[in-house]
Amino acid sequence: MFVKKKGQVWVETVTYTLIALVLIGLILAFVKPKIDELQDKALIEQSIGMLKQINSVINEVSQDGVGNKRLVEISISKGDLTINSSTDTLSFLFKGAYMYSEPGQNYSEGSFNISTTQLGSGYNVLIEKKYSGFNLTYSGKDSSKIITSSSSPYQIFIENKGGVSNNIDFSLK
């Protein structure tokens, strides 16, 4: 009789442990996507801040005259920063779980255009600014540069090269 009760205690312990593990798994299944969305929202807002910082430096070097050169340190933990010389645009593409704006609708924040497109269960968020009146170049050439995510920060030089087309040159340190 004592042996049966001892076995029953072990069966109950294992059963309760399994129930607890199942409940923890269910909670994580519902909470984890929401946590991912909030992290993506924070990264998008951080990226907008980074682009505003770069935009501010571009405006400073253009106002301070030819030969003015500034160093900007940026961190990209997720996404791609593109310096597009052919269209004179600066853009940031982020792929994640957060829908920043309504898909298919353009949204403006300051001088930046933001568009969201649905990609399966995730979203692509494109933040972009066209620089009319400037000719953006990378390392003195009309070539585009994609700066990808990295664990270490990038150091980017932005220089006013002047000229008729008001040339703003980017280069990595």
What pLDDT digit, counting tens, does each position of 17-26 carry?
999 999 999 9
Q: Which residues pair with 160 in a beta bridge?
A: 168
Distance of alpha carbon 87 from alpha carbon 10, whole angstroms: 70
Residue 118 is predicted with a pLDDT of 93
Identify which of 91, 98, 118 has the alpha carbon closest to the alpha carbon of residue 34: 98
* pLDDT band per the 50, 70, 90 thresholds, residue 133: confident
Identify which of 82, 70, 89, 170 has the alpha carbon closest to the alpha carbon of residue 132: 89
Residue 165 is predicted with a pLDDT of 80
- Residues 47, 82: contact at Cβ < 8 Å? no
Q: What is the mean pLDDT of residues 82-110?
A: 92
Q: What is the pTM of this model?
A: 0.82
Q: What is the mean pLDDT of residues 19-40?
A: 92
Q: What is the mean pLDDT of residues 2-28?
A: 85
Residue 166 is predicted with a pLDDT of 86
